Amino acid sequence: MNKTGTGTGTASRLFGEHFLHDLNQPELDMLHKVRDLVESRIGPNAHKVAEKDEFAWDNFHLLAKEGVIATAFPNEYGGTDARQVLRIRIIEELGRVCSASASLITGADLSCRAIVAGATPQMKEQLLPGLRSGKLQAAFALTEPEAGSDVRGLKTSIRQEGGEFVVNGSKKFITRGTTADWFMVVGRLEADASRFVAVLVPRGAAGFDISPEVEKLGWYGVPISSLRFENVRVPAGNLLGKVGDGFELAQDALLRARIGHAAMALGRSIGAIEIAAAYMNDRTLFGKALGEHQGAQWMLSDMFSQVEAARALLSVTAQKYDRGDTDVAVYASMAKQQATDLCMKVVTDALQLTGGRGYMKDFPLERFFRDAKLNQIGEGSSEVHKTVIGRDVIRRSTRAQRNPTLREGSLVAY
Ligand SMILES: Cc1cc2nc3c(=O)[nH]c(=O)nc-3n(C[C@H](O)[C@H](O)[C@H](O)COP(=O)(O)OP(=O)(O)OC[C@H]3O[C@@H](n4cnc5c(N)ncnc54)[C@H](O)[C@@H]3O)c2cc1C
């Protein structure tokens, strides 16, 4: 064992266990199972998984077999319908070592939530047990060449024709494009473009074309593709929710995925701080350990305190989700924007603290640095979330109690 205490597996954690007080015993058991998997399999293999941008099948099957993916699914279909207070801890734990593994859990929400919420009983029966057990996979197809942040600008059209829906259009940046069996596709109703429609399209449907995997900066292990639909026909039973529900179903899936992205970013931040602090203990310069230099301690101090603050915000958000609070969406925006922007800063500073070693390909921070960027873009960019939050504050302030220091009529006039 070196002097940082790494390599024991039983050493106390750098970040405390205070957030675990939210969990009951079965939830703690699940979290400890995930911790064991991270320690024995997922952590040691994370570098290998990230070597190539190929789907991380081994980790997907492992997390499915161990019931971790099932946390996203209802009990009646073999899932465990876990509370968000548990799921953020699971995702954080995986994100601490491997973005691809964490995204297998957030991806289960993104791609399957609309099926859970809106599929017909027959489709649920047909798909959910397989999606829960890892025998099947779904993808979430919302983004288009001209509709990313401005998602209401999407152009894919869906026409009702007899007992079928007919899909025309294209999608881009679709995670699991090359591996999914089913695609949740959101488009506009051809007869009334103000109404959004979500349908399930199976891989292999006539007229449905999936591009090869598109090369990207990071998040290796979860490849993306573009999709094209030319008069793709699906039966009426593939409709999710009702005609007109497509946008709300997509937002419902994105809400859970945003909470997950925040957890993943915080997990990665925790991992980066653990690595930087270990290096600071081991690395001697100018006659003492790097960790004894005050400038480096101040950097570490900001990183640690800010991550703990963001974790507290995310915990509140998860509790709000579990209670069904009406303001959960704006809290999810806050948690996601704060955690993901912070993660980019933390991994940058952690890499700086580890000097040239951090810049090397075989050192995990190089990968953390590349992976962090995506969390600020996917599931709504930071700028989109700041717009949502700012708009919400202004809207609520019109109804909120005035600060008692303000005299009537004294705001603008004096
Ligand atoms: C690896 C990866 C995986 C993805 N997986 C999926 C998936 O599975 N399914 C899916 O549907 N989509 C997916 N996406 C798409 C993702 O959700 C979009 O990339 C994201 O919503 C941003 O859209 P855009 O890329 O078109 O950026 P744009 O909309 O072109 O925005 C560009 C930038 O403009 C800035 N900006 C945006 N709005 C504002 C504003 N109001 N004010 C100021 N600045 C602003 C932001 O910095 C933003 O990043 C994925 C993307 C990536 C990169």
How do residues 41-75 score in pLDDT, each as one tens digit?
A: 999 999 999 999 999 999 999 999 999 999 999 99
For the residues of 132-188, what is the DSSP string, one character each?
HHTSS-EEEE--BTTBSSSGGG---EEEEETTEEEEEEEEEEEETTTT-SEEEEEEE
Q: Which of 384, 386, 387, 388 to mutate to test the pocket of ligand 1 (most atoms within 8 A of CB)?
A: 384
CATH label, 20-133, candidates 1.10.540.10, 3.40.50.150, 1.20.1730.10, 1.10.10.920 = 1.10.540.10
According to DSSP H, which parts of 360-405 are helical?
364-377, 382-397
Describe the crossing of helices 84-95 and 294-323 by its angle, rounded to 10 degrees: 150
Could you state, in order of their start, the residue ranges of all structural domains in the chain? 20-133, 138-247, 248-397
pLDDT score, position 2: 39
Question: What is the Cα–Cα distance from 23 to 38, expressed in whole angstroms?
Answer: 19
Strand 284-285 versus strand 288-289 pairing type: antiparallel
- Reported as half-sphere exposure (CB side, CA atoms, 13 A), residue 398 has a value of 5
The closest residue, in CA terms, to atom 48 on ligand 1 is: 381
Q: pLDDT tens-digit profile of 307-347?
A: 999 999 999 999 999 999 999 999 999 999 999 999 999 99
Ligand 1, atom nearest to 141 Cα: 11
Q: Which of 152, 155, 337, 377 to mutate to test the pocket of ligand 1 (most atoms within 8 A of CB)?
A: 377
Q: Are 380 and 258 in contact (CB under 8 A)?
A: yes
pLDDT score, position 218: 96
Find where tokens 């940058």 sit: 348
Distance in Å, CA 147 to ligand 1 centroid: 8
Question: What is the Cα–Cα distance from 263 to 299, expressed in whole angstroms?
Answer: 22
User: Per CATH, which fold does 248-397 belong to?
Assistant: Butyryl-CoA Dehydrogenase, subunit A; domain 3 (1.20.140)
pLDDT score, position 118: 98
Regions of the chain where pLDDT drops below 70: 1-10
Distance in Å, CA 406 to ligand 1 centroid: 41
Distance in Å, CA 143 to ligand 1 centroid: 8
Structure letter (DSSP) for residue 214: B
Q: Which of 53, 173, 373 to mutate to test the pocket of ligand 1 (most atoms within 8 A of CB)?
A: 173
Q: Are 254 and 186 in contact (CB under 8 A)?
A: no
Question: What is the Cα–Cα distance from 193 to 221, expressed in whole angstroms?
Answer: 36
Question: What is the Cα–Cα distance from 245 to 147, expressed in whole angstroms?
Answer: 18
Ligand 1, atom nearest to 216 Cα: 1
Q: Are 47 and 102 in contact (CB under 8 A)?
A: no
Cα 103 from chain centroid (whole Å): 6
Find the residues whose C-beta lies inside 6 A of ligand 1. 140-143, 148-149, 173-175, 216, 219, 224, 374, 377-378, 380-381, 383-384, 387
Residue 165: closest CA among 143, 190, 148: 190
Ligand 1, atom nearest to 379 Cα: 17
> Which H or E element spans position 193?
strand 192-202
86: left (phi over 0), alpha (psi -120 to 50) or beta: alpha
Distance in Å, CA 91 to ligand 1 centroid: 22
Residue 98: closest CA among 357, 340, 367: 367
Q: Are 218 and 98 in contact (CB under 8 A)?
A: no
Distance in Å, CA 105 to ligand 1 centroid: 20
Classify each residue of 13-25 as buried b or exposed e, where b means 16 or more C-beta atoms within 10 Å of its C-beta: eebeeebeebbee
Instruction: Enumerate the active-site residues.
Output: 379
Dmax over CA atoms of the chain, in Å, equals 80
Question: What is the Cα–Cα distance from 295 to 298, expressed in whole angstroms?
Answer: 5
- CATH node for 138-247: 2.40.110.10
Question: What is the Cα–Cα distance from 236 to 159, expressed in whole angstroms?
Answer: 11
Question: What is the Cα–Cα distance from 376 to 373, expressed in whole angstroms?
Answer: 6
pLDDT score, position 9: 52
